[in-house]
């Protein structure tokens, strides 16, 4: 659990990054209409949540900084019995003052009036310059007289690169639930079922374990469907003898997990499937061993490309000398994506990959990233030996960078051929 003291510590750190004589503001998410008077489920803006832990809409955080003082202000919705009857209880101004470690709390309906007061004699304004939120657009109109405008989003996103101990525990909790879901998918009888039925089993496990939403739309891709990287139709039958690529992770207490396993429909891998699977697995294991502070993701990517390309040459999928093939980018036909991405409050955490000078950011203790090599061979690719056609494999784990190396946070999820076959329902 993240305490209010930790949220305050984050806000204090953000204020230190602001120029003197400035005002900064960041807004909550807004409800989005599905149709008429129904709305999509509300999820708080990730940056706003990171700074506050506040889950309601129509809220704002404002920071004022001069040479002599700083002040933090929270705006919240007023209590309204009629609206609360329909949409749920609101914290309100009085309770917010008790709960949140900010200097002042006001009602959201007073934001424009108060914000104009805060802007007096200020030279700098920090806000979400590219936001589509209506409140952020209103700030742009209110700050026409201020010459220097800054985007607050990159400042917060950079802070999100390094996870605290409390954040790491929440990610671990999310992964523990996702582990149950993947193991459930391995264990059930899949004969005669469809991809969406397996998806339902996975997401059922999320919800019964208090992960009320998935971190992203689950991919349950059988056979050649796995060769569409962002396949989410999930409407095809589970065919005996094929593999199922399952890329699924839950969101628990606002923190994501992101796991991929590729499992056999009937509980057993064919020899060709094992050959490809073990090539991807051994590549992933080698890359994970390399992770430690000061290593760069680009280096991990290059090593993954080398290992996968060499393996594909040995299997007859690619022909030629592997160094030349890599130089010619031939491997990208079968391994077109990166080795991984940052993960945290968002499954693809939007923390930066380069610094202000466009230099790649090296790994540091406390960063969390995915490692997910893959191979994707279309069923119609006649340049490849027939036994490998129509197979798509990705293996993905969530990795924490530690002081001297790394920790695989999702090590508990079955991954080797032997582990998966031992868990799987066989028919």
Domain positions in the chain are: 4-159, 165-423
DSSP H or E run through 155: helix 153-159
State the chain's mean pLDDT as an integer: 96
- CA distances from residue 196 to 193, 213, 216, 218, 246 in whole angstroms, order as listed: 8, 16, 15, 10, 11
Looking at residue 67, its pLDDT comes to 92
Q: Which residue has the tokens 């391995």?
A: 186
The CATH number given to 4-159 is 3.40.350.10
Domain 4-159 shares a fold with domain 165-423: no
Q: Which of 195, 215, 171 is nearest to 263 (CA)?
A: 195
- pLDDT, one tens digit per residue, over 293-311 is 999 999 999 999 999 999 9
Phi, psi (degrees; rounded to nearest 5) at 275: -60, -50
Q: Give the SS3 label for residue 296.
A: coil
The per-residue pLDDT for 137 is 84
Topology (CATH) of 165-423: Creatine Amidinohydrolase (3.90.230)
Looking at residue 269, its pLDDT comes to: 98
**What is the set of active-site residues?**
37, 230, 247, 258, 337, 341, 348, 372, 376, 394, 396
pTM for the whole thing?
A: 0.96
HSE (CB half, 13 Å, CA atoms) of 195? Answer: 23
33-84: pLDDT as tens digits: 899 888 889 999 999 999 999 999 999 999 999 999 999 999 999 999 998 9
Q: Are 29 and 45 in contact (CB under 8 A)?
A: yes
């Amino acid at each position: 659990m993240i305490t209010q003291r930790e949220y305050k510590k984050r806000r204090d750190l953000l204020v230190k990054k602001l120029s003197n004589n400035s005002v900064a503001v960041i807004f909550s998410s807004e409800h989005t209409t599905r149709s008429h008077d129904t709305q999509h489920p509300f999820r708080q803006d990730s940056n706003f949540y990171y700074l506050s832990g506040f889950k309601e809409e129509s809220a704002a955080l404002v920071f004022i900084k001069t040479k002599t003082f700083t002040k933090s202000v929270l705006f919240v919705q007023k209590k309204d019995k009629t609206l609360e009857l329909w949409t749920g209880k609101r914290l309100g101004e009085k309770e917010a003052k008790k709960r949140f470690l900010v200097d002042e709390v006001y009602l959201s309906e007073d934001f424009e009036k108060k914000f104009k007061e805060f802007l007096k004699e200020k030279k700098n304004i920090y806000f979400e310059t590219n936001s589509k939120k209506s409140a952020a657009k209103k700030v742009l109109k209110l700050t026409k007289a201020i010459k220097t405008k800054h985007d607050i989003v990159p400042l917060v996103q950079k802070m999100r690169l390094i996870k605290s101990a409390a954040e790491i525990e929440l990610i671990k909790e999310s992964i523990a639930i996702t582990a149950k879901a993947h193991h459930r998918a391995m264990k059930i009888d899949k004969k005669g079922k469809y991809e969406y039925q397996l998806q339902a089993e996975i997401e059922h496990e999320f919800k019964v374990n208090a992960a009320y939403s998935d971190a992203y739309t689950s991919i349950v891709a059988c056979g050649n469907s796995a060769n569409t990287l962002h396949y989410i139709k999930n409407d095809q039958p589970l065919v005996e003898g094929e593999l199922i690529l399952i890329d699924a992770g839950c969101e628990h207490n606002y923190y994501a997990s992101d796991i991929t396993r590729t499992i056999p429909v009937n509980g057993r891998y064919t020899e060709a499937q094992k050959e490809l699977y073990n090539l991807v697995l051994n590549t992933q294991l080698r890359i994970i061993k390399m992770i430690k502070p000061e290593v760069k993701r680009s280096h991990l990517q290059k090593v993954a490309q080398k290992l996968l390309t060499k393996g594909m040459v040995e299997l007859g999928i690619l022909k030629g000398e592997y160094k030349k093939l890599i130089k010619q980018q031939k491997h990208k036909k079968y391994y077109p994506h990166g080795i991984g991405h940052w993960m945290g409050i968002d499954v693809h955490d939007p923390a930066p990959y380069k610094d202000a000078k466009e230099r790649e950011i090296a790994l540091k203790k406390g960063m969390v990233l995915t490692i997910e090599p893959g191979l994707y061979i279309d069923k119609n690719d006649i340049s490849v030996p027939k036994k490998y056609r129509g197979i798509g494999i990705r293996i993905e784990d969530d990795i924490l960078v530690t002081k001297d190396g790394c920790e695989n946070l999702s090590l508990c999820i079955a991954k080797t051929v032997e582990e998966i076959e031992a868990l799987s329902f066989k028919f």
